[in-house]
Amino acid sequence: MVPGRDAELVQIVDAAIADAARRAGGWLKCARGCTQCCVGVFAISQLDAERLRSGLVELERSDPARAAAVRARTQDAVRRLGADFPGDARTGVLDPEQVERFEGFANEEPCPVLDPATGLCDLYAARPMTCRVFGPPLRTEEGLGVCELCFVGATDAEIAAAEVHLDCGALEGELTAETEKNGGLAGETIVAWALLSR
């Protein structure tokens, strides 16, 4: 990962989300302490994984006790989930042939980065792209998706008016490929495995 270029990607995404949040106004219910998007595992790229690891190293410098708690929750999660991991449990790389298994995997598992006492993300500045874009309407292959807590009662037009507009897929793809090449692991993983000591 090239830190400066990843910072550029993060800035592009964060600016797009801020713009969408402004357009969403009161329809967007995301707020400090809301953990709707922090329960249930989800796939992240190796670029996201590297950013999380760097964030944990920074947290170890600034707040060793919080970093130790993140590491302990991570190790507990890997112990709980390892036997049923839909991929290579040694490396944490998900098997793309096991999509159906992954869809039903650990849907009630809290993210190990979530502080259960405060409901806050201990690695918020280093969070994956999925976390960054959750909440405002985001267009995917399935259509325009929103958090189930947001836009309750909104019209289709009101939802569409707040759609996130991202134009960074090429940069994200390039940085992910570079991270995979440099790190020796290709494919998606989940937060718990991303944070295991390498």
pLDDT tens profile 96-121:
999 899 999 999 999 999 999 999 99
Instruction: Report residue 31 as tokens.
Output: 């707020």
Average pLDDT, the chain: 93
Q: Does the pLDDT value for residue 2 go beyond 80?
A: no
pTM of the model: 0.92
Structure confidence at residue 32 (pLDDT): 82
- The whole-angstrom separation of Cα 22 and Cα 130 is 19
Tell me how many domains the chain contains. 1
Residue 157 structural domain:
3-29+38-194
Structure confidence at residue 197 (pLDDT): 63
Residue 142, Cβ density class (10 Å: 0-12 exposed, 13-18 middle, ≥19 buried) = exposed
Considering the chain, what percentage of its residues have pLDDT values greater than 70? 97
Instruction: Report residue 37 as tokens.
Output: 């998007």
Strand 93-94 and strand 143-145: the pairing is unpaired
